[in-house]
Amino acid sequence: MLSEVSDQNKPRDSQECLDAFSRLAIDDTTIKKVVPARITALAVHPSSSVTVVFAGDKLGNFGYFKMGEGESLVQSYSPHTSGLMCLKVNKNQPQRVFSASYDDTVRCLDVERGIFDEVYRSLDENGVLCLDWGLHNSLIVGHSDGAVSLVDPRIRETRSYTLHSKKVRTVNVHPVHEWCFLTGSTDGTAKLWDVRNLKETRSKKAAEAIATMAHHRSCSAAFFSPLTGNQVLTTSFDDTLKVFDSSELTSEVKLKVSLKHNNMTGRWLTPFKAVWIPGCDDLFLVGSMEYPRRVEVFSSAGTLLHTLKGDSLTSICSLVDVHPDRFVVAGGNSSGRVHVFVEA
């Protein structure tokens, strides 16, 4: 059933999304402990017929919650020896889920076989914190020392580049122009890059970016708007969510919106990562420190439009993800629990 997937590039009307979100609900049956420790990575599978949410934790554990009308299923593994920081479902082979870890590896789970394969291992022992797919199905992986590596799994070829002075928290490939990718770093910047112009170096001198989007503190996430890539959404420890105009992929990337938002999650919570709603350039979601506990829905203009909440949601969901076609929203908390909002 995981091979039957929704159209992951299907446009969505913002008002239709908001109307659907008003019908979403959460209860004790849609909350499950999936991994033992704090969730550090989360992904909703794009299946058109079944709801499956994957989670990884700070100890390297991997699990998933498969919801069913009868008995739900929770399955867990321990593929990594250190924090699992990113999860991505392969769009072309949706039964395969990729995981990136501080243990210097990227692994791939074949969900149907329950087997993990090692796809990449960093020889520099610099941790893998994030990944995305680039040109020709190559992998772009971000490291804890500010480097980014381009990996061709077919021939095991890797090229590495120093792009930041500190950790690369997110990498995201432009949805239209695959030669362009975006990084978010704890050095306080988000940057645009042209993969065709990178120069391989092992020095600490950073390569030259197309554009730099500065923040006053660590940037924990940066993502292109999913349809056009004409906007960049960032999350920062300077207590802001920012939207930049990236319609022109030049140095002239202008700030459109700077929204004050409490992102000071502290040492016991995973940092917030605001994410776009798939198929919609107008709406994004983010966790919240506010009471009652909630997931917030904002417009790209910075207006709070809706909050997802319920009596069963009693903890902060630092990470959130959204199904690309069905109206399913998942959140992950610091105790390893996955919370799923579904239509009531």
Average pLDDT score over the chain: 95
For the chain, the 3-state helix, strand and coil shares in percent, each to the nearest 5, are 5, 45, 50
Q: What percent of the chain has pLDDT over 90?
A: 88
Res. 6: pLDDT tops 80:
no
Number of structural domains in the chain: 1
Q: Determine the average pLDDT of the residues in 110-133.
A: 95
Q: Determine the average pLDDT of the residues in 211-233.
A: 98
Tell me the torsion sign for CA atoms 121, 122, 123, 126: negative
| Residue 67: per-residue pLDDT | 94
pLDDT tens-place string over residues 140-184: 999 999 999 999 877 778 999 999 999 999 999 999 999 999 999
Instruction: Find the domain containing 72 and state its range.
Output: 14-343
Place of tokens 């605001």: 274
In a domain, 141, yes or no: yes
In a domain, 3, yes or no: no
In a domain, 299, yes or no: yes
- Hey, how many other C-beta atoms are within 10 angstroms of the C-beta on 252? 11
Q: Residue 109: CB partners within 8 Å, gap ≥ 6?
A: 62, 77, 79, 96, 97, 99, 115, 116
Q: In what order do the strands lie in the sheet with 115-121?
A: 84-89, 96-101, 105-110, 115-121
In a domain, 233, yes or no: yes
Cα–Cα distance measured from residue 172 to residue 327, given in angstroms and rounded to the nearest whole number: 23
Cα–Cα distance measured from residue 233 to residue 235, given in angstroms and rounded to the nearest whole number: 7
Q: What is the DSSP letter of 242?
A: E
In a domain, 9, yes or no: no
In a domain, 5, yes or no: no
In a domain, 311, yes or no: yes
In a domain, 4, yes or no: no
Residue 108 maps to which CATH number? Answer: 2.130.10.10
Contact indicator for 74, 63 with CB cutoff of 8 Å = yes
Burial of 247 (0-12, 13-18, 19+ CB in 10 A): middle
**pLDDT confidence tier of residue 241, bands split at 50, 70 and 90:** very high
